[in-house]
Structure 1
């Protein structure tokens, strides 16, 4: 488990400390995270968010057969494992060695091997124009104060016409408490309050940081990276999905969007 925090809430922290916190937090959290959410995510499945929207149905990456596809913030690379089975040449990166170690375990369990590379999404160790598609499902972007660098790296390693697709917590959700019941249906914060949610120790050390961006912020970040925005997908909560994941669940899902998927391409 991660170190114990003594403060949890919304406050500004130095960008360097907030951006560096994810590696250690996910290293420590990886086994428990997979134990709690592994059944929903699957070992070799591609889920864009807690609503259960799957790439098999959404086709947001387009035709992947024979294509070079990069996943950043891959966690245990469940999505990339599905892509390999679907005929893609997939490669997965994550900043956390702990999450990639879980990915190696799933590779061995499923018999589907995915090349795993430990890398910061803001500085990818790949040549320009190396991939036909790049994506992340709730990876990297929420945990970094400088997401524009992630978009620029995605654009750099994409071939012309290639897609960069990323899913994040829907920005609207930040105005509401992280509660999946009816108590989470009343806004308690300003949508425009961009202070990150952080967990810190009593001496101020940042253990966890998650950053809020408005819809407009995400659009401006994409455009600043030289990408073209093609679509914003807001999955509805399916009636047959009884899963509760943090603040997500069927009660709130009936009224509020939980996920936004931004579909872009390099011109």
Structure 2
């Protein structure tokens, strides 16, 4: 085979290859490749977007609940700090303890407020009693003495009380027991003290019990029947022998006022001064 034959054969083979190979449009191929790339990119973005939304719905719900917080029931909920404290953690025990402590503090504050309210009410009653006692007409009161009013009974006491008045309203009225108020005066020595006590009892067989010994019949406004005594007690005639060695002036008054028996008694220092104090107390009594 010579060179001419080789050239002819090569030419025919090239023509045959051209006939078997389809025509290539380079521009079209580039465009198609770009279209396929955009389509794949859009698919990836779509999948990523769906995954993101799904994750937000699953994870974001508890976070969203935590972010809408309110520091008090009356406040409007608002966005909170998206930190780890917004997600339930082991700090729940601390929160429960804080709530319990706040509840205890609130109860203590309520108790304190109730005590203050009670004290204010008692102070108001004391003022009303003092005003009512001051308005009672015709009661001679020595200079410097103080008026007392207890459940409709008004009387006066000397200055210099040792402690505040003792009030007991728990006892039900009977022949021997009933509500009482005691003025606590200075010491007389050997465990004895000056005092004035008013007690409200039931009548004795519809009236007053009989009296023995020396007594007198003072006029008490508001009373329908009255008797009283003033005497000196000491070691020789004390109702309880050996109880004390102190001499003192003792006095007592019983007043019938409707369905009540008012008993007022007490003691002061022995002697003329103490006896006059007892009679001044008796003269200041009125019942309404």
Same fold (TM over 0.5): no
TM-score (norm 2): 0.24
RCO higher in structure (CA 8 A, sep ≥6): 1
TM-score (norm 1): 0.26
Higher helix share: 2
- Which structure has the larger Rg? 2
